[in-house]
Amino acid sequence: MGHTRRQTETQGVEIHLGRLVKEIDPRQRRVMCDKGDIFTHEKLLLATGGRPQRLPFDDDQIIYFRTLADYRRLRARTETGRRFAVIGGGFIGSEIAAALAMNGKEVVMIFPEAGIGDRVFPRELSQFLSSFYRQKGVEVLAGEKVTGLKARGSQRALQMGNSREIVVDGVVAGIGIQPNVELAQSARLKVEDGIVVDEFLRTDHPDIYAAGDVAAFYNPSLGKRIRVEHEDNANTMGQAAGLNMAGRSEPYHHLPFFYSDLFELGYEAVGETDSRLETFADWKRPNEEGVIYYLQKERVRGVLLWNVWKQVDAARRLIADPGPFQPGDLKERLPA
């Protein structure tokens, strides 16, 4: 790396690239890096995100899709490769499979759940999505597991539970992330599923903050602590943490949304969109355009806006509304 230190004159931010923080010392307010640099601070933000979970049969040819470098590696492999396996049927798996198919590649998707996005979408929608992918030419192996991987020259043979083998030119895995909490743990900050922060995004040390994928925060609309692995949360929470570190005292009560695009389908979702909750689907056109409400104890916990746009704030208001709501009350409630 040519330059490891850069100063942006206008913003007053000093950037040190190619450094890994190995330890933080809250008492001395110091940050120790792998190359021996030590930085001192008044306030400190931990925004270390997460790292991909790895498969038990790890192999350096598996691309765990997370970084720009991963994208470049996959892109390079598509120059010569024809057939690709995508392990995982969640956000990353469904987006990568669609992107590869749209680029003319043969794709086989493998995951243990019953359908694509099964943890978020109600069963019928997840089944529809699996059929939709099949119509687009993707081989969807739902309810199946890869148990091992063998090299076949530059190709890889996936070993399936049913002793079948699938030979491909590239393997991408998106099976979830685990938050990078180790710095916080070794500094004895409170960590549960992520670094625990208060409503001002402070950890249990008053000068150390956390934000983004790594932070577990309390959301008043949902009445519970959550950790969110999505862009809107990372952007909004990062900004809120920065403001509070600079002296403001503004609580972070934002209920983040997330979005995804799958071929020509697209959605935005807010709150707790967990397919295990009671759901009510209000379709304008079945599986093409409509709103799905997730309910628990007569309250709306989450809203999925399926090809329905500019309704995120209205969905947030509905989730904050104490109700009570019966599924029938929600018919044609959105778009507002």
Ligand X SMILES: Cc1cc2nc3c(=O)[nH]c(=O)nc-3n(C[C@H](O)[C@H](O)[C@H](O)COP(=O)(O)OP(=O)(O)OC[C@H]3O[C@@H](n4cnc5c(N)ncnc54)[C@H](O)[C@@H]3O)c2cc1C
Residues near ligand X (CB under 6 A) are 20-21, 47-50, 65-66, 92, 180, 183, 212-214, 229-232, 234, 258-260
User: Least CB distance from residue 41 to ligand X, whole Å?
Assistant: 14
Neighbour order of strands in the sheet with 21-25: 21-25, 30-33, 38-40
Please identify, using beta-carbon distances, which residue of 34 and 298 lies nearer to ligand X.
Answer: 34
- Cα–Cα distance measured from residue 242 to residue 237, given in angstroms and rounded to the nearest whole number: 8
User: Least CB distance from residue 153 to ligand X, whole Å?
Assistant: 28
Please identify, using beta-carbon distances, which residue of 66 and 333 lies nearer to ligand X.
Answer: 66
- What 3-state class would DSSP assign to 235? helix
Tell the residue number behind the tokens 């942006």, with chain if given: 8
Output the CA torsion sign for 291, 296, 298, 302: negative
* Strand pairing report for 21-25 and 5-8: unpaired
Output the CA torsion sign for 104, 107, 113, 114: positive
- What 3-state class would DSSP assign to 32? strand
User: Least CB distance from residue 306 to ligand X, whole Å?
Assistant: 15
Give the residue from 237, 231, 255 showing the smallest Cα distance to 303.
255
User: Least CB distance from residue 332 to ligand X, whole Å?
Assistant: 27
Please identify, using beta-carbon distances, which residue of 137 and 176 lies nearer to ligand X.
Answer: 176
User: Least CB distance from residue 236 to ligand X, whole Å?
Assistant: 11
Residue 299, both tokens: 């309250």
Please identify, using beta-carbon distances, which residue of 47 and 100 lies nearer to ligand X.
Answer: 47
Please identify, using beta-carbon distances, which residue of 198 and 231 lies nearer to ligand X.
Answer: 231
User: Least CB distance from residue 79 to ligand X, whole Å?
Assistant: 20
Judge contact between 204 and 190, C-beta under 8 A: yes
Please identify, using beta-carbon distances, which residue of 106 and 231 lies nearer to ligand X.
Answer: 231
